[in-house]
Amino acid sequence: MYVDVPVELLQMNPFTAIGKDGFLITAGSSEKFNTMTASWGSMGVLWGRNILTLYVRSSRYTHEFLEQSEGFTVSFFPPEMKDRLLWCGQHSGRDHDKIAQTGLKINYLTGPKGTERVTFKQASLVFSCTKAAVLPLAKESFLLPEIDSFYKDGDFHTIYIGFIDSILSNQ
């Protein structure tokens, strides 16, 4: 059962949770959605709102769903779920049924405009977000040459900035 967590009471280290543990980005609806593992992202305040920022390569299947959806979820999991996150990161939803393969249990949330968002019952912490801005990341933006090494194939990220609508803890 999920309970709302006021942002003032949120206890997590974003550097560990995002960069080391990883998370699932999920976009779409109950009819069709996709989820992907990520370990790049950021949290903060922008335009007077709490935000979560995602970086998704245009080649990723989830990118299509993020482009079409009004929002998304970011789901963090307990350590014993690490193997499932790894599997979701190594396989495309274009070719595999990630839910069937991993045993993830779907849970639907309602966004502020009444739209459905998808997360998972096993998630320990979920951020439900409304897309506020979408920005392409271009090579011309890089000021340091070492950043180029992340894009040798030219598959650049799209930046998705989402207003955090709710933070839910699985109790």
User: How far is the C-alpha of 161 from the C-alpha of 133, rounded, in Å?
Assistant: 5
For 14, the token pair is 């974003």
The yes/no answer on whether domain 2-170 falls in CATH 2.30.110.10 is yes
Q: What is the mean pLDDT of residues 119-130?
A: 97
Task: Characterize the bridge pairing of strands 106-110 and 157-170.
Answer: unpaired
Alpha carbons 35 and 49: distance in angstroms, whole number = 25
C-alpha–C-alpha distance, residues 33 and 61, integer Å = 10
Mean pLDDT of the chain: 95
Per-residue pLDDT of 74-88, as tens digits, reads 999 999 999 999 999
Q: For 23-49, write each residue's pLDDT tens digit.
A: 999 999 989 999 999 999 999 999 999
Query: Is the pLDDT at 164 greater than 80, yes or no?
Result: yes
What is the per-residue pLDDT for 102?
94
Residues 6 or more apart in contact with residue 87 via CB below 8 angstroms: 98, 101, 102
Single pTM value for the model: 0.95
* Residue 129 banded pLDDT, cuts 50, 70, 90: very high
**Contact in structure between 42 and 161 (CB atoms under 8 Å):** no
pLDDT of 88: 93
